[in-house]
Amino acid sequence: MYGKGTMPKEGFKSITVSDTVYDRYYEIYQKNKQELAMKGVNSFAGYITYMLEQTMQKDKTFAKYAPKLEKVSIDDDRVIVKDNIKNRIAEVTIQRGELYCQLCEEKNCFHVGFVFSLPDVYEILNAKGIRHPK
Ligand SMILES: [Zn+2]
C-alpha cells in the first residue's frame, strides 16, 4: 500500500492486494479526499487505516449486543429489534433525524445503540446524515 516496490518504513508493514481492489479503493479515496482531509486523513494509506478502524469499531459494538438483541426487520424508517433479555419487541424509528426507541421511550438506549451497530442500518442512516449521539 506504499506504492509498488517500496520497502515499508520502520514500524510499518506492507501488504499486497490485487490491482482491482487497489484501484477501487483508490478511486473512492480520490473522490472523498477533501472530506477525509477534514477528518485528518491525509494519505491513501491513512484512508485504509481509517476504514479498518471504523469496521473494527462497528464489529466490537455489534459483538457487545449480539446474543441479547436480534434484528427482526428493517424498513425505511423503522427497525424491529427482539430483546432476548426482556423478551420484548423494541421498535426503533427515525424521528426528526434521530433514532427513537418506542419501547423505552428513549433516544439513547441499548436498542438504539444496537441499531446503530447494524451495518445495513448504518448505511441507511449515513445516507440520511444521522449520526450516533455520543
Ligand atoms: Zn430501547
In the block, cell 477525509 appears at: 36
Mean pLDDT for 96-102 is 89
Q: What is the pLDDT of residues 22-63, one digit of tens each?
A: 999 999 999 999 999 999 999 999 999 999 998 888 788 777
Residue 96: beta bridge partners? none
**pLDDT at residue number 81:** 94
Task: Judge if pTM exceeds 0.75.
Answer: no
**pLDDT at residue number 49:** 93
User: What is the rounded CA–CA span in Å between residue 47 and residue 41?
Assistant: 6
Give the contacts of 40 (CB within 8 A, at least 6 positions apart): none
CA of 53 to the centre of ligand 1 (A): 27
Mean pLDDT for 102-130 is 85
In the block, cell 478511486 appears at: 27
**pLDDT at residue number 5:** 53
Q: In this predicted structure, which of 24-28, 73-77, 89-93, 119-123 has the lowest mean pLDDT?
A: 119-123
CA of 118 to the centre of ligand 1 (A): 15
Report DSSP state, residue 72. Answer: E
Q: Look at the chain and count its residues.
A: 134
Instruction: Assess contact for 72 and 80: CB atoms under 8 A.
Output: yes
